[in-house]
A and B are shown apart, each in its own frame.
Chain A
Amino acid sequence: MIVNFILNGEDVSLRARSGDRLIDILRDSFGLHAAKADCRKGTCGKCLVVMDGRLVPACMVLAFKVRGREVITIEGFVQTDEYKDVAEGIREVGLETCGFCDAGVILAIASAIEGQTRPDRTEIIEALSSVQCRCTDPETTLRAALAAADAKDRRLYARDRK
């Protein structure tokens, strides 16, 4: 089947089998290797991508579900202002992500702080529960998310004042 979708802002088209998972399409057909295929059950959070504005595990999305959708991987997300907020939060608290999970951790933090209102600790913990990284300290990840929320507030305030 031919699958057309928007990937990191570009229209793309490829031939895939209906049973192919999005994570394998991203890695094999587009060379986007930041998201990893690990559990293939949607629990580890290493393959997170944004699909139509929602954070989803790419291992749980089949090729035919992607048709006509917009997908943003971490490679696309790093081009955005939202990424700068997350990066600032991570830098501020000295969070060292493990490399295997960092795409998931960054996107999960971004998802935690994306709403109109500032999330509380419980909401952030809930959002971060989508990533199971054994080598990154959860408390530091939480502090990074809170610092990222501060960075976002500062950026939006500066933008509104202009």
Chain B
Amino acid sequence: MTASEVHLPVSIPELLELLKRNPQLLLFAGGTGILREKGSRFIDLPPSIALLDNVAELRTVTRTERYVELGSGLRLSEILSFKQGTIAPILREAIAGIANPVIRNLATLGGNLACRERFMDSWSALACLDALLEIREPSGSHWMNVNRLIGETGKPALPPVMVISRIRVPVDSWPFILVRKLGQAGWPGDDTWTFAALAKIDKGYLVDLRLAMGGRCGLRFPELDSRLEGSSLPLGTKEVVALVADYREAAWELDPDAALPFSRMADLALGKLR
């Protein structure tokens, strides 16, 4: 049982300075992920913790015509309380499916994305939306597509020492959305996946299709998504079956256990467009 030193930074530069001095620093936002993994009475924490509650920059919301930028420290319940139209409906639906209302009163969007062990519920919706993450590191900052969180093995590949400060979410309108959670309820296990799909339709033609699934690995195959673009609706059974088979193959390459759930969900999504 060790005593932890708790830092209370009030700005991102101060937080980055702390990270620079101590790369092992535990960034603590809602803390729900950290605490749920440890069901014990007392939580043995690392020697140094930075509590993010007082970093105002992590709690800002900026909206332009094309996107909304959400501070990573916004609580999930706060995001759900935004008036309709502020955030993409697919993201709202994905967030509404996370845990229960009281956990969502603590958990933050940044914490949901920063899990290093698995892709949590918001990831697949953000992956479909091609959302961008602002990554702040002691050496500088850059924007990164949320899809680039998928490492070579399909597992989350977050930079080792960094802060996700903002999430830039496009606000275009998608007439077709689908979000499904698969596997055990409650805290995610190995068989838990969150699937999301978006489709844009114009004058009876499918003009954009995006499918993603997150769990113990992240699955997003833009090259397959684009194959049916330009097809007239309803989609033909033959082309859907062929595409679903290819999704299954691609998912199998990454994680054999993901192949069946991904292809089933792809079939469900494409079936609605048939």
Contact = CB atoms under 8 A, between A and B. Distances in A.
Interface residues of B, number: 29
Given A18-B6, A41-B36, A42-B36, A54 B105 contact: yes
A21 interface: yes
A89 interface: no
B3 A43 contact: no
Interface string B40-64: 1111110001010100000000000
A137 interface: no
Contacts of B100: 42-43, 45, 129-130
Contacts, number: 92
Interface string A105-141: 0000001000000000000001101100000000000
A56 B106 contact: yes
A20 B40 CA distance: 10
A65 B1 CA distance: 19
A54 B39 CA distance: 23
Interface of B: 1, 3-4, 6, 28, 31-32, 35-36, 39-45, 49, 51, 53, 77, 99-103, 105-106, 186-187
A84 to B, nearest CB: 23
B102 A20 contact: no
B101 A60 contact: no
Interface of A: 1, 17-21, 24, 37, 39-43, 45, 48, 54-57, 59-62, 64-65, 111, 126-127, 129-130
Nearest to A1: B6
A62 B186 contact: no
Contacts of A48: 102
B41 A40 contact: yes
17 contacts: A17-B1, A17-B3, A18-B6, A19-B42, A37-B41, A40-B40, A41-B35, A41-B39, A41-B186, A42-B32, A42-B99, A60-B31, A60-B106, A61-B31, A62-B35, A126-B101, A130-B101
